Amino acid sequence: MRLQSRIAIVTGAATGIGRAIGLAFLAEGARTAFVDINAEGLAQIERNHAAGSNELVTIVADATQAADVERVVNETRRRWDGIDILVNNVGGAVGNGGIEGAEADWDATFALCFKSQFLFCRAVLPAMRSRSSGRIVNISSNAGKYRSNTGISNIAYSAAKAAVLQLTRSLAHSVGVDRITVNAIAPGSVLSDAGLQEFNSMEPSLRNRVLSETPLGYFADPKEIASIAVFLASDDASYMTGTTIVANGGWCTS
């Protein structure tokens, strides 16, 4: 088990990529806090996977609120006496993210995609520094490195996910002396709950175009992204920091 006895926090963990990462961490031996604002989604994880185990805890919290973030970190430290891994997975596009979109929509999108990651990184660093080690994995997006590969233009989302990449590089430089690594994953289209809904709502012509432009010819399963997170959180990636791993099936049209 590559994460045996490690202590992890995964945000946005009630569904989709976050849930897949959390479950993969458990399978690799990590004690894992699943964090989400979606209480019912977390309850379902508990029903299906907890089974009285002390290896899993669910915490309902709003990752865009500093007080909630501090509560999550403090609760995790009290329960397991430390934090080794953070996966910042919370994100999403709110409303109209076009250049003429409402200011509130832009603020909400940046809060979900970027502010949440800043708050959690800041909150976990004291625990990681106390151990002189740590792994931070930030989930960005293909849209933050290239552009959306679904034909949906959301400038706010793309800009926020691009900011995550710079946060990753800059923080990696800042905390390397503490033996803390900071890396990012930039997924393309993923058949998470939201991704599947988006895929099914596409016009057939758009769906076929996106698939034809993806050399592997399919959209990712969340487990395929989770396996990358396990690698970055493990000792196998001990000399990688400030790096972004793109997982988009080969789609790289600029």
Evaluate if residue 190 carries a pLDDT over 70: yes
In a domain, 203, yes or no: no
Which residues are the active-site residues?
157
In a domain, 27, yes or no: yes
In a domain, 208, yes or no: no
pLDDT of residue 146: 83
pLDDT of residue 208: 81
Task: Decide: residue 189, CB within 10 A, 0-12 exposed, 13-18 middle, 19+ buried.
Answer: buried
Evaluate if residue 152 carries a pLDDT over 60: no
Distance CA 171, CA 148 (A): 25
Distance CA 191, CA 52 (A): 30
pTM: 0.93
- Going by their DSSP bridges, the two strands 31-36 and 180-187 should be labelled as unpaired
Residue 109: CATH number of its domain: 3.40.50.720
Containing structural domain, residue 141 = 7-189+222-246
What residues contact 158, with CB distance under 8 A and at least 6 apart? 97, 141, 143, 144, 147, 148
Angle 116-120-249 (CA atoms, 0-180°, nearest 5)? 65
To the nearest whole percent, how much of the chain has pLDDT over 90? 74
In a domain, 195, yes or no: no
In a domain, 216, yes or no: no
To the nearest whole percent, how much of the chain has pLDDT over 70? 92
In a domain, 199, yes or no: no
In a domain, 82, yes or no: yes
In a domain, 215, yes or no: no
How many domains in the chain?
A: 1
Least confident of 52-66, 108-122, 166-180: 52-66
